[in-house]
Structure 1
Amino acid sequence: MKNKFITLALSLLAFFTYSCEEEYVEPNTFSDIAFYNSNFRAETFVVKGEDTIPAMFIGVNDFISFSDLSHNAVDHKWTIPLSAEFLEGRITRDDEDYTQFIVDKGGNTSTENTINVFFTEGSATDLFEVNLRNTFKDSVSFKGVDTLESVYEDGLWVIDTTFSVFVFDTIEVEMEVRQFDEVTGLFELIDQENTDTIYVEAGDVLEFADVTTIGLPDTRKWEIAGDVYTDEVIQPTFKKLGMASVFLTASRTGLNIPPDQDRYKFPIPIKVIPSTKPFVQQGDLVETIDHVIRIPFNGEFTNLPADAKDYFSVKINGVAGSVKSVALDASDATIIELSLFDAVYSDDEILVSYSGGLESTDTRQSESFTDLPVTMFIPNLFSADIYGFEDGGVYWGPTFDNVGELTYNSTEQVASGNYSMKMVSSSGDWTFAQCLPESGVAVEAGKTYIFSYKVYVEPGSALPFVAPWITKPSGNKQFWESINSFKQGEWVTINKEWTANADEEISVQIRIKNTGTIYVDDFSLIAKDNFRPAE
C-alpha cells in the first residue's frame, strides 16, 4: 500500500511538471513609459516671458516624491538641482526637520526608481527642474496633458522629461517708514540703521509701506497703536502720548500655495510727544444710528469738564437745537460725542458750532469752529455692496427674457463707489436685469418706504422709460419712469414711495427697451419714518 501511494505521488509530480513546462510564457519585452509625483494634483502654471509652464508649487525646506513607473527601460537617471538633496528613510509629514534624512549629500543624480527631492532654496522668479532620462529598445510615448514621444538616439529610444518646481521662500517681512518733512513737503525715508528713536507729535502721521518680497506674501496685517490696517501703504495718525508699537504680519494664503507667515515687530521705538501744532477739529462730523454726533479732533482730550455741553451749539434746518450731553468716545479720546434733546431725521440739515477751549492731554487748547455740517445716518435696508454693485454685481443676473447687454461691474460711469450696472438696449426687446432672491431684504406690512435709485442716460440714447420692479412673494410692484425729459450725461436720482402689504422679503428687477444705454447705481430702500414729517 505504501508503495502505491509513493507511485501515485511521483505520477502527480511528473504530471504537474509537464503541465508547467507546457504553459511557461516568457516575460514580455514590450516597453512603456510612466511616471508619478506626489504633487500632481496641485500642479499649476507659471508665466516665464512668453511661455506658460506647468509647475508644482512647494515651500522651501519641503520635499516632493518622484517615481519612474516605466517598463523595460534599458536605463534611467534622475537629475535634480544642485541646491536640492535626496532624502531616504521613514519620512512622514509630522517630521519637523527633514535634514536628518539626507543621503548622498551634494549629489544630484540617482538611478533609483523613486526619489524624494528636498528643496533647500527658494526663488521669487526662477523655476527649479527635476529631470528624468529614460532609454528603451522600442519606441514609446507618454499620454498625458501633453503627449511625449521618444526620440531615436544612438540605437535607443529616449524620453527626456523635465518637471518644473516653483519653490516659495520663507517669508521675511520688510517695511519702510517715512516721516513728513516740513522743508521738502514730502514724506522722507527714515534711515532705520542710524535712528535710535522716532519722535512724532500728537496728531501727526507716519507713513508705513510693506515692501516684503521674499516669500511672495499675498496678505498683510498692520497693528499700530491698537489699530489694524491691511493696505500696502498706510498713514496712521498717532494721537496718544507715550510709546507706540508697530507690528506687520505678512502671509501667504492662496489656493494651492504653501502657507507661511512672518510677524515682525518694528525695532525702533516710536515716541509720541506733545504737539506744537494747533489742536483742531479734523475729519467729518457723522451721526450714528443712535443719533449721536461724533466730532473728531487731531489730538486726545483730557477729562471733559461738567459744563462741556455749553461749549457746543447746533442748528437743525436753520433752527437752534438743544444739546443734551457731551462725552468722549470710550475707546478714542480724540472723538467727542454730542447728543441732542431734539428728535432728528435722516433728511435734516444739522450744523454744529464750538466755542473752543477744551484741553488736550498735552495741554493744548482746542480751537473753535462754526456751522460744520453733519453727515446724517441713512438706514438703507439695501446693502451698498449688493444694490450699489460694490461687490462687482455677483448677486445680479439677466432674467429669462433678457436679450440686451448687461455689465454688473461697469467702471465707465459710477454715482458712488467703484462700480455701477450698465444696460444696453439695441432692439425692441427687453434688456432686463434682476437681483437674485437670496439678496432679499425684509419689509413690514403696512410700513411705507422710500424706494430710490440713480440713473445715468448716455447721450444719444432713445429710451422712453426705465422700469424697476420690487419683486416679492405677494405680487410684484412695478414703477414706470419716463426718462425722455432726463438730462442726458449726468446722474439723476429717482424716488418712489411704496407701502408694503405683507411681512416678506423683497428684491429688485429693472428693464429698458428701444435703443440706448443707461447706467444704474445706488438702489436704496429707507423707511419713510426716518424722514421728517411734513408740517
Structure 2
Amino acid sequence: MITKMKNLRYLIIVFTLIFVYSYDDESDALPPSFQDATWVTNVRPSDDYVIVKGEDISFRDLSQGALTHQFIIEEGNHFLYSGYKNNDSLPLFINKNLGTVSIDKDAHVLFLNQGINKVTLRNTFKDSISYKGAVVIPAFKENDVWVIEKTWEIDVFGDLLPAFKVLDKNGDEIINVTATDEVSRKDEDTWPVINVEAGDALTYIDLTTEDRPTGRNWSLTRAKTSTTTDSIVSAGYFSLGTFTAGTFTSSRGGDFPVGRGSKIIPLKINVVPSSQPFVYNADGGMLESPDEVITFGVTGELVPFTGEESSFTVNVKNADNGFDKDIAVTSAKINADDATKIDLKLAEPIYNSDVVTVSYAGSGIKSVDTRDLLAFGPIEVSMDEGFNLFVPALESYASIEDGSSNVWGAYCNGCWVGKPTNSHDGDGNATENFYFTRGMATADNYQVSDGDASMRYISPSTGITGGRTIQFTKFKNLDLPAGRYKMRMDVFMVAGNTMSGINMWFKGPNVNAFWDLSPGTVARDEFVTVENVIDFSVSPTSDRFDIQVRDIDNPNGLSSTQEFYFDNLVILPIELRP
C-alpha cells in the first residue's frame, strides 16, 4: 500500500543530492535558460498504483524552467491540504478552494472514485525538451509553447459489496440480495420464512462482483455444511425448528488490497418433519475405512441410540479360500463427525479381497424428526484399497511427470526404449517417428489425464508390426513383497484405434498381464481408468517392467495408425484372507 509523506521527503532528498552534485562546484545557481521535466510520488518505483477508496497519493513536480504548471484530477477526487498524519481523517483536509486543477508544486490527492483514476501533470516550456525517464516522454507543440504531460493511472478498489441468492430444493429463487441492498436485523420480522423438510437442502449462490472479490465464507445456521468457502453451496437441514439462515462474507486478498464485506442472509428457515421415508442413503455409499470401520449414511439426522448391534447382519465372502460367514457387529453408533452417518465395528478382521455386505432389520434407530429407519440390504461395502505404493517415492515417475532429454528413454526419466528400436524408420532422430514419447499437454498437445505430461504410443500408418516396448526401470525401488496387487492406469484411445490391448511383462519373476483395451471394452477419445490383477509368487527381483504393443495381440490393428496415451500408473496391495 501507499507510504505517506515521510517516504516522499526521502525520495526528494535523494533526488536533490543527485541534482546538486551534477553541477560545477563554482556555480550555485541554475543557468537562466535551464529547463527540465521530472517528478516524484510517494509510491515506490517497484510498486503498482493500487489503493483502496479513501486513501491518498502525493505527487511533486520537480521540473525546472516551466512556463506553466498544472495537476489535473477527475471529478469526485479531491486535493488535500498538507500537514495530515497517517491516522487523520482525510476528508477533514480537503482543499475546498480547488476543483480539479491545482497549480501547486505538491499535490496530495484523495481518491474516492472506484476503478481506474487518472492524475495528469501538465507543464509548458519555451523550448522542446523531453522527460528522460525509463519511458521517454517527448514534448508536443501547442499554441507556440511546448507541452509535456505525464498521466498516472491509479487503480482504486472500492468496498466489497456482497450479493447472493438462495434457491429452494426445486431450484426456485427464495431471495436475491443485490450489492446495494442493505440488510438489518431490525427488519427480521419482515424476512421471508421457508419451510424445509428435514433432509432437504437449500442452495446458496455467491453473486458478488463489487469490488473484485477473491473469496468468500458462508456461515449457515444448523446446516449440515455449516461453514464453507464454495461459491455455490447445497446446505442440508436436519434439526427441527425455526432460525435465521446465517451470514455471508465476501473477501479480497492475494495481489489485491485486503478487504472484507459481510451481510446477514435475510431469511428464516423452518425445518419440519420429513414426509419421505427414513432410509439408507445410497449417495454416500457403504465404505470401509483403513481401520476396518464400516460407515454409511442415512437420509436424516440421527437420534443417539444404543443396543442396535444385533439389528445388523454383516456377511463376508472370499472366493479364493471359500470363506462365507456372518461376522458379528460389536459397535453401532453415530459417526462423530456427521450425525447422518452410522459407524459399525466388527468382531473379526476383514480384508479388501473380501466381498462384504451389510443389512439392517430393526426398530430402534430414529431420526430427529421421529422417523424410523427402514430395513435395507444387503448392500455391498466399498472396501478400502490401501495406498498407492508408487507414492511418495515414485509418484512423479508413475504419473509420467519426471521428464528427461534422453530420446533413448522416450524423454521420461527412468524409462528406456532404445533409439533405433523406438523409431518407425530406425534412425531414431525424428520425434514424429517415435513409437513411445513422453510429451506435455501444452507444448506437445498431448492428451493428459492429470498433471502436465503423459506417454504416447503411435504406430506407422501401416499399423502395428512386430513388438514395441517401453521399459520402466525404477520398479525394483518399490521393494514389493510376494503377493497379489491391483494395477491401474488411465488410457486415452484415440478415435479410430482398433487395437485389442497391450501386454505388461515383469522381468522377474517373469509375469505377463494382458490389458484389454478393445473398442468394446474401452471407450475412444476420452480417458478411461483400466485395471488388472498381478500375482507375484516371489518378491519381484527385476528392476523393471515393460509395456509392450505386439502384433500377436492386435490382429485388428495391423493396417492403420494406432495411437493411444497412458498416464497415472497406480499399484495397490490386495489383502489376501489367511
Could you state the TM-score of these two structures normalised by the residue count of structure 1?
A: 0.73
Describe the shift of the 1:509–1:82 C-alpha distance in structure 2 as closer, same or farther (beyond 3 A).
farther
Q: In the TM superposition, what is the alpha-carbon distance from 1:68 to its structure 2 partner?
A: 2.5
Q: What is the distance in 2 between the residues matched to 1:432 and 1:68?
A: 69
Describe the shift of the 1:219–1:122 C-alpha distance in structure 2 as closer, same or farther (beyond 3 A).
same
Q: What is the distance in 1 between the residues matched to 2:355 and 2:361?
A: 20
1:101 matched to 2:134? The reply is no
Q: Which residue does the alignment assign to 2:373?
A: 366
Q: Which residue does the alignment assign to 1:35?
A: 39
1:531 matched to 2:565? The reply is no
Q: Which residue does the alignment assign to 1:296?
A: 297
1:423 matched to 2:429? The reply is no
CA contact (8 A) 2:240 2:273 kept: yes
Provide, for residues 35-57 of structure 1, a one-character-per-residue CA deviation record: whole Å limited to 9, x for no partner: 333164233xxxxxxxxxxxx32
Question: What is the SS of the residue equivalent to 1:31?
Answer: coil
CA contact (8 A) 1:311 1:355 kept: yes
Equivalent residue pairs, number: 470
Q: 2:386 aligns with which of 368, 379, 382?
A: 379
Q: Which residue does the alignment assign to 1:52?
A: none
1:455 matched to 2:491? The reply is yes
CA contact (8 A) 2:303 2:366 kept: yes
Q: Which residue does the alignment assign to 1:400?
A: 405
Q: In the TM superposition, what is the alpha-carbon distance from 1:327 to its structure 2 partner?
A: 0.7
CA contact (8 A) 2:127 2:146 kept: yes
Describe the shift of the 1:88–1:76 C-alpha distance in structure 2 as closer, same or farther (beyond 3 A).
same
Q: What is the distance in 1 between the residues matched to 2:98 and 2:470?
A: 67
CA contact (8 A) 2:334 2:343 kept: yes
Q: Which residue does the alignment assign to 1:46?
A: none
- After superposition, residues 50-129 of structure 1 pair within 5 angstroms as 56-93=49-86, 95=87, 97-104=89-96, 107-123=99-115, 127-129=116-118
1:159 matched to 2:148? The reply is yes
Describe the shift of the 1:87–1:457 C-alpha distance in structure 2 as closer, same or farther (beyond 3 A).
same
Describe the shift of the 1:40–1:364 C-alpha distance in structure 2 as closer, same or farther (beyond 3 A).
same
Describe the shift of the 1:501–1:303 C-alpha distance in structure 2 as closer, same or farther (beyond 3 A).
same
Q: Which residue does the alignment assign to 2:566?
A: 520
Provide, for residues 348-394 of structure 1, a one-character-per-residue CA deviation record: whole Å limited to 9, x for no partner: 332222225321121111222222232222222469999999xxx8x
Q: Which residue does the alignment assign to 2:415?
A: none
1:314 matched to 2:287? The reply is no
Which amino acid letter does the alignment assign opposite residue 240 of structure 1?
Answer: S
Q: What is the distance in 1 between the residues matched to 2:548 and 2:80?
A: 65
Q: What is the distance in 1 between the residues matched to 2:481 and 2:268?
A: 61
Q: In the TM superposition, what is the alpha-carbon distance from 1:142 to its structure 2 partner?
A: 3.3
Q: 2:161 aligns with which of 150, 168, 172?
A: 172
Q: What is the distance in 1 between the residues matched to 2:35 and 2:384?
A: 77
Which amino acid letter does the alignment assign opposite residue 250 of structure 2?
Answer: A
Describe the shift of the 1:367–1:216 C-alpha distance in structure 2 as closer, same or farther (beyond 3 A).
same
Q: Which residue does the alignment assign to 1:6?
A: none
Q: What is the distance in 2 between the residues matched to 1:384 and 1:270?
A: 46
Describe the shift of the 1:462–1:335 C-alpha distance in structure 2 as closer, same or farther (beyond 3 A).
closer
Question: Any stretches of 5+ residues in structure 1 without a counterpart?
Answer: 1-21, 44-55, 471-475
Q: In the TM superposition, what is the alpha-carbon distance from 1:337 to its structure 2 partner?
A: 0.7
Q: Which residue does the alignment assign to 1:250?
A: 250
Question: What is the SS of the residue equivalent to 2:333?
Answer: strand
Q: In the TM superposition, what is the alpha-carbon distance from 1:267 to its structure 2 partner?
A: 3.7
Which amino acid letter does the alignment assign opposite residue 326 of structure 2?
Answer: G
Q: What is the distance in 1 between the residues matched to 2:262 and 2:392?
A: 32
Describe the shift of the 1:96–1:369 C-alpha distance in structure 2 as closer, same or farther (beyond 3 A).
farther
Q: Which residue does the alignment assign to 1:348?
A: 354
Which amino acid letter does the alignment assign opposite residue 179 of structure 1?
Answer: D
Q: In the TM superposition, what is the alpha-carbon distance from 1:272 to its structure 2 partner?
A: 2.3
Q: What is the distance in 2 between the residues matched to 1:61 and 1:433?
A: 64
Provide, for residues 314-355 of structure 1, a one-character-per-residue CA deviation record: whole Å limited to 9, x for no partner: 232373432222111124221111122232223433222222
CA contact (8 A) 1:463 1:484 kept: no
- Same amino acid, percent of matched pairs: 25
- After superposition, residues 219-258 of structure 1 pair within 5 angstroms as 219-224=215-220, 225=222, 227-242=226-241, 243=243, 245-255=245-255, 257-258=256-257
Greater fraction strand? 1
Which amino acid letter does the alignment assign opposite residue 112 of structure 1?
Answer: D
Q: Which residue does the alignment assign to 1:493?
A: 531
Deviates more, 1:342-351 or 1:157-166: 342-351
Question: What is the SS of the residue equivalent to 1:375?
Answer: coil
Describe the shift of the 1:279–1:463 C-alpha distance in structure 2 as closer, same or farther (beyond 3 A).
closer
Could you state the TM-score of these two structures normalised by the residue count of structure 2?
A: 0.68
Describe the shift of the 1:78–1:517 C-alpha distance in structure 2 as closer, same or farther (beyond 3 A).
farther
